[in-house]
Amino acid sequence: MDLVPKPDGSSSPATLTAPGAPAPSGSPSPQQPAALKAVDKDTTAGVLFGIGAYGLWGLLPLYFFVLAPAGAVEIVANRVVWSLLFCTLLITITRSWRVLGAAFRNRTVIGPLSIAAGLIAVNWLTYTYGVTTGQAVEASLGYFINPLVSVLLGVFVLKEKLRRLQWAAVVIGFIAVGVLTVSYGKLPWIALTLALSFGLYGFVKKRVGPRADAITSLTVETIVLAPLAAATMIFLGVSGTATLGTHGAGHFWLLAASGIITAVPLLFFGASARRLPMTTIGLLQYFAPVLQFIVALAVFQETMTTDRWIGFGVVWLALLVLTVDMLRTARKNSVIRKLARARAA
């Protein structure tokens, strides 16, 4: 809501107000400056939380790098189990066990979150595999493509009509995938799997909406995945391929920290989403793939051929078109809301 006062000039300087009476509509009330400061403070906090969330996700490849020689399957299994322990602690501290129980009894919550759990497991496995096998550049591509997948989901699932610039961005995106397919000599399946799984994950979570907060959602998802993750850890331990207890205390605690490293960005994201409009969130999300791309080139020294640079350039062009459309639409909607408030006043 726009809390900036809009004087209409109808009151004169000589107008007197009785003690305790409300201020005239054209003059700022004593509470308005404080309200403005509160809005500014809330927005700043939202931006900082958003940068924190996407920044941590963007630097996640560095964490996987120091977990070597643990493979993708072991990392994800540990990530689920330790996340569950961390979520249990959060639920206890916030005294939210009743809320969690209600979520499990509500079919409209437990059903979608179980699907979301499967989707995020696929996403985590694919991303971790990409990073740990020297394909972090392609993994970052998946999150660059993700906004385009969200647009397509809106068309095919929600039957939304695209604007011209959105159509242009989608067409450019398909061209980019074609260029990159030629460059890699194969379909960039890691990038496409990441984009599709995370796009569907976001869609399912949006359908759940306010019926489950961030902590409850994450806890339900980890509970759904925990039996399979625990069985995987036991199997790896019995077969002698687990690294959790065989590479020293430092490696053990690094793997154990995966619970915190998984949960904190999600909590930051939830705090940001409550304070910022979706337009701002949409722009902040580019922090993650940009950082992942930089880490892949600067730290992992992955190769970028000329044709791959061209392919990525086409993807970035598609995102630029999509961003311009998003900003134009947000500005137009803001003007419409202001005119509606003016008419109401």
- Tens-place pLDDT, residues 74-129: 999 999 999 999 999 999 998 999 999 999 999 989 999 999 999 999 999 999 99
Q: Mapping DSSP to helix (H, G, I), strand (E, B) and coil, where does residue 15 land?
A: coil
Q: Can you give the pLDDT at residue 334?
A: 78
- Please tell me the distance from the alpha carbon of residue 227 to that of residue 266, in angstroms, as a whole number: 22
- Please tell me the distance from the alpha carbon of residue 335 to that of residue 340, in angstroms, as a whole number: 9
DSSP state of 28: -
Query: For 6-60, how does the pLDDT look when each residue is reduced to its tens digit (9 = 90+)?
Result: 434 444 444 444 444 444 444 555 555 555 555 567 778 888 988 999 999 999 9
Q: Can you give the pLDDT at residue 206?
A: 78
Contact status, residue 201 vs residue 123, Cβ threshold 8 Å: yes
Q: Can you give the pLDDT at residue 329?
A: 81
The dihedral through the CA atoms of 128, 131, 135, 140 has a sign that is positive
Write down the H helix ranges in the chain: 31-58, 60-66, 72-94, 97-105, 107-132, 136-156, 164-184, 189-208, 214-239, 248-256, 258-275, 278-284, 287-298, 306-344
- Please tell me the distance from the alpha carbon of residue 117 to that of residue 197, in angstroms, as a whole number: 11
Q: Can you give the pLDDT at residue 35?
A: 55
Residue 237 has pLDDT above 90, yes or no: yes
Residue 1 has pLDDT above 60, yes or no: no
Q: Can you give the pLDDT at residue 33?
A: 58
Which of 173, 210, 176 lies closest to 311, judged by CA? 176
Q: Can you give the pLDDT at residue 283?
A: 78
Entry field: residues in the chain: 345
Q: Can you give the pLDDT at residue 6?
A: 43
Which of 265, 266, 291, 269 lies closest to 280, judged by CA? 269
Mean pLDDT (whole number) for 213-226: 90
Q: Can you give the pLDDT at residue 209?
A: 72
Q: Can you give the pLDDT at residue 4?
A: 42
Mean pLDDT (whole number) for 297-304: 92
Average pLDDT, the chain: 84
Q: Can you give the pLDDT at residue 104?
A: 93
Mean pLDDT (whole number) for 288-307: 92
pTM of the model: 0.80
- Please tell me the distance from the alpha carbon of residue 178 to that of residue 73, in angstroms, as a whole number: 30
Mean pLDDT (whole number) for 268-285: 77
Residue 326 has pLDDT above 60, yes or no: yes
Q: Can you give the pLDDT at residue 36?
A: 54
pLDDT band, residue 169 (cuts 50/70/90): confident
List of residues 6+ apart from 238 with CB closer than 8 A: none
27 or 198, which is more confident: 198
Q: Can you give the pLDDT at residue 31?
A: 54
Mean pLDDT (whole number) for 162-182: 87
Mean pLDDT (whole number) for 302-327: 90
Q: Can you give the pLDDT at residue 89?
A: 93
- Please tell me the distance from the alpha carbon of residue 342 to that of residue 53, in angstroms, as a whole number: 37
Residue 34 corresponds to which tokens in the numbers above? 């404080």
Contact status, residue 315 vs residue 176, Cβ threshold 8 Å: yes
